[in-house]
Chain A
Amino acid sequence: MTPNESESHPPLSPEAKNHSTRRDFLLQIGILINAIAGFMIGIPIIGFIFSSLIKKAPPVWFSLGPTSNFPENGMRRAVFENPHRREEDGQTSRETCWVSRGQGDQFKVFAANCTHLGCPVRWFNESQLFMCPCHGGAFYADGGYAAGPPPRGLYVYEHKVEKGELKVKAGVLPTLANPV
């Protein structure tokens, strides 16, 4: 015991002092044990919660089928299975994109999600416009913004033509923060 301690505390019997010190020690040990255990439980819990961010599923290349499926100077809807799908995803992993083909192998692939609030846009060939059923956003055939509340043109997927197949890089829901 230090002189400081005897000054600040009223004098105790040696027995009581011993008792108190042992309790204090046990309390400190107890807090330490629980803190260690807390970390050992807490960190895995945090890791579990953020799993989808830690094991991030990035966009990947996959085929939309032979280029002959898409006529020149036309717009076609392509349905694909999301490359990250699990069996339990059922129909939700069936996704849509719009493939615009110009002359030859000139392609442009648009995500179906409207840039306003993500609803599925639909192509109207006669008026050459994409229209959104939710809030009336409209886009031109090149994906550019035409009218309504969307803040930008349609999201464009990266694409390439390999061995006669049209391949796109997709698999993540496009949003303004992550426009593919």
Chain B
Amino acid sequence: MSEKDKPITSALVNIAMWVERRLHIVKIWKATGGHPIPKSSASWFYVFGSMTLLCFSIQIITGILLSLVYTPSASEAYRSLEFLNYHWTLGWFLRALHYWGSNCMVIVMFLHMTQVFLWGAYKYPRELTWISGVVLLVLTLGIAFTGQVMRFDSDAYWGIGIGAAVMGRVPLVGAQLVNLLLGGPIIGTDTLSRFFALHVFVLPGSILALVSLHLRLVLLKGINEYPKPGIQVNRKTYDQTYEETVHKEGFPFIPNGIDKDIVANGVLLLVMVGLAIFVGPKGPGIPADPAIRISDASPDYPFLWLFAAAALAPHNTEWILFFLLPAIATVLLFGLPFYANQGEKHFSRRPVSILVVLLTYLGLGLLTYAGLTGPWSPHMEAWSGIPTKPEFIKARTPLELQGALLLQNKQCRNCHAIGGTGGHRGPDLSAVGTRMNEPELIRQVIQGGGNMPAYGNNLSQQEVKALVTYLVSLRPANTIPAQIPSMPEKTQAGKAERVSADEPAKQPQTGG
């Protein structure tokens, strides 16, 4: 350093020291970014928390920007979204980034939660860190749902309708809850306004507050050390051991422990930007006009599993899905750090934790897949819009062809596929002739049952005859037609016997 530089350098140092003496930046830094972490915690598995925070930051920035143009009014919202998509410079990009950022946030948050669970980080002394995380999970799902409503299209509209229908199942105060959810008698502009207030004020504010608590707890109690199999957590000794580990083989989070976080977050940013550019924003779809007939309505990715579960739940068990299961989940999630407070942290010594994770992912994954394919929904246009393959028509008698036409015209194919095409609500009929015989098919068509409506009032005797004759003919070559009803023979025969046996037995009693 030359002599000339010296006064400038010392002046800069003086300024820095002046600022430092007033703001105590070094002290703040040592307690935050530069806090010591165990060397083992600088792991690839420990990057998901910062990734979730990154997603949230992206959501705040893009959200504020979108709110500059978006109009939260039922009559204007849709138009302002189209304006963003097609007119406002890079509006489409910001919308896409906000949409994909939201999906990424939910996914990364789940990964974070899974890692924390498997690595036993919720145990002593980090119980409150876990609990604040569970509340953040609920808030994040809440902000994702209210965000979906901001895209004020038919999916959003019927999504609120589903929310209202769920609220309407609450005993005693159901009607009042529906009214509070909608802000009035119908889904309208007051509904959108209150979802807007939740989405941009209440929920982000709450999330910011809880993230502060969450991070404060991470700093206070230290980041979880990478667990080793066989090392037990003990309330009496843990704090001291942790202190010693950090002291002996620890280093400051910044700069020594942040490298992997930076790489992972960079990749996540690239993925988000890539999705935003190449897939683009979602919607808005069909306008939120209840007078427009829609063929399907489905929620965004984070709620598809719930949507699917609502379809697949057995008749009249929705209360279990909407009220009992959330209650159980709440107890389990909030209670976890208390009933598993000490002991082994490493997942290799906690096989049940692995099972829980596998089952949860399998369950959510399968339900989400089911939600994407939606096999329970009738295919509303199948009867008029899907061709029938030649092998199901070829070499049929006129009566059978009449039946084939009835099958098409009576909208049977909205629920029943033939040759794999059509609705999947009911069973595929391609080989129904091998499963059911004529009497049973007649009974099924006329009386319905097993989740099929009865067509007895809707079909003439001749029509039933034609339809059933065609259905009986539906079986692959070289297969035997069904000889007996596919219902268990014993039960049916037993029932029939009892009825016929009881009647003569009863008559003398009543008569005498």
Chain B binding surface, main DSSP class:
loop
The reply to whether A53 and B176 form a contact with Cβ atoms under 8 Å apart is: yes
The reply to whether B175 and A177 form a contact with Cβ atoms under 8 Å apart is: yes
Instruction: Knowing A52-B179, A128-B457, A133-B294, say if A173 contacts B186 (CB, 8 Å).
Output: yes
A92 to B158, CA, bound (A): 11
Nearest residue, chain B, Cβ from A151: B316
Contacts of A135 in B (CB 8 A): 310-311, 376-377
Binds A, one of B10-18, B70-78, B247-255: B70-78
Binds B, one of A13-21, A27-35, A113-121: A113-121
Say how far A171's CB is from chain B's closest CB, in angstroms: 6
Say how far A152's CB is from chain B's closest CB, in angstroms: 10
Say how far A98's CB is from chain B's closest CB, in angstroms: 11
A171 to B186, CA, bound (A): 7
Task: Answer yes or no: A164 CB below 8 A from chain B CBs.
Answer: no
| Interface residues as binary, A97-138 with B (CB distance below 8 Å gives 1, 0 otherwise) | 000000000000000110011111010101111011111101
The reply to whether A52 and B425 form a contact with Cβ atoms under 8 Å apart is: no
* The residue from A58, A79, A94, A119 contacting B158, defined by CB atoms under 8 A apart: A119
15 A-B pairs, CB-CB below 8 angstroms? A88-B74, A89-B186, A93-B186, A118-B165, A120-B293, A126-B411, A127-B410, A127-B412, A129-B453, A131-B380, A134-B377, A136-B378, A140-B453, A147-B448, A173-B161
Task: Answer yes or no: A66 CB below 8 A from chain B CBs.
Answer: no
Task: Answer yes or no: A148 CB below 8 A from chain B CBs.
Answer: yes
The reply to whether B184 and A134 form a contact with Cβ atoms under 8 Å apart is: no
The reply to whether B189 and A134 form a contact with Cβ atoms under 8 Å apart is: no
User: Which residues from 167 to 216 on chain B have a C-beta closer than 8 Å to any C-beta of chain A?
Assistant: 167-170, 174-180, 182-190
Instruction: Knowing A135-B311, A146-B453, say if A91 contacts B288 (CB, 8 Å).
Output: yes
Contacts of B180 in A (CB 8 A): 50, 52-53
Task: Answer yes or no: A26 CB below 8 A from chain B CBs.
Answer: no
Contacts of B189 in A (CB 8 A): 86, 88-90, 92
A91 to B377, CA, bound (A): 26
The reply to whether B186 and A95 form a contact with Cβ atoms under 8 Å apart is: yes
The reply to whether B409 and A126 form a contact with Cβ atoms under 8 Å apart is: yes
The reply to whether A92 and B179 form a contact with Cβ atoms under 8 Å apart is: no
Say how far B410's CB is from chain A's closest CB, in angstroms: 5
Nearest residue, chain A, Cβ from B380: A133
The reply to whether A134 and B290 form a contact with Cβ atoms under 8 Å apart is: no
Other A-B pairs beyond A91-B74, A176-B168, 6, CB < 8 Å: A89-B74, A116-B318, A120-B294, A129-B411, A135-B376, A173-B187
Tally A residues with Cβ within 8 Å of B: 54
A128 to B456, CA, bound (A): 11
Contacts of A95 in B (CB 8 A): 186, 290-291
Contacts of A58 in B (CB 8 A): 185
Task: Answer yes or no: B34 CB below 8 A from chain A CBs.
Answer: no
The interface centre, meaning the residue of A86, A94, A95, A136 with most chain B CB atoms within 10 A of its CB, is A136
Q: How many A-B residue pairs have CB under 8 A?
A: 200
The reply to whether B165 and A175 form a contact with Cβ atoms under 8 Å apart is: yes
Task: Answer yes or no: A96 CB below 8 A from chain B CBs.
Answer: yes
Nearest residue, chain B, Cβ from A60: B185
Contacts of A129 in B (CB 8 A): 411, 453
The reply to whether A172 and B378 form a contact with Cβ atoms under 8 Å apart is: no
**Which B residues have a C-beta under 8 Å from some C-beta of A?**
73-76, 78, 157-158, 161-162, 164-170, 174-180, 182-190, 287-291, 293-297, 307, 310-311, 313, 315-316, 318, 376-378, 380, 383, 409-412, 414-415, 425, 448, 451-455, 457-458
A42 to B183, CA, bound (A): 20
Instruction: Knowing A56-B179, A135-B310, say if A128 contacts B458 (CB, 8 Å).
Output: yes
Contacts of B287 in A (CB 8 A): 91
Say how far A81's CB is from chain B's closest CB, in angstroms: 10
Say how far A87's CB is from chain B's closest CB, in angstroms: 7
Task: Answer yes or no: A84 CB below 8 A from chain B CBs.
Answer: yes
Nearest residue, chain B, Cβ from A142: B457
The interface centre, meaning the residue of A53, A79, A92, A127 with most chain B CB atoms within 10 A of its CB, is A92
The reply to whether B162 and A118 form a contact with Cβ atoms under 8 Å apart is: yes
A131 to B175, CA, bound (A): 25
Closest 3 CB pairs of A and B: A175-B168, A177-B174, A90-B75
The reply to whether B188 and A89 form a contact with Cβ atoms under 8 Å apart is: yes
Contacts of B73 in A (CB 8 A): 88, 90
* The residue from A50, A94, A117, A128 contacting B162, defined by CB atoms under 8 A apart: A117
Task: Answer yes or no: A67 CB below 8 A from chain B CBs.
Answer: no
Instruction: Knowing A88-B74, A88-B75, A173-B161, say if A133 contacts B415 (CB, 8 Å).
Output: no
The reply to whether B297 and A96 form a contact with Cβ atoms under 8 Å apart is: no
Contacts of B313 in A (CB 8 A): 149
Contacts of A22 in B (CB 8 A): none
Contacts of A91 in B (CB 8 A): 74-75, 287-291
Nearest residue, chain B, Cβ from A175: B168
The reply to whether B451 and A148 form a contact with Cβ atoms under 8 Å apart is: yes
Say how far A138's CB is from chain B's closest CB, in angstroms: 5
The reply to whether A173 and B453 form a contact with Cβ atoms under 8 Å apart is: no
The reply to whether B377 and A118 form a contact with Cβ atoms under 8 Å apart is: no
Nearest residue, chain B, Cβ from A127: B411
The reply to whether A149 and B294 form a contact with Cβ atoms under 8 Å apart is: no
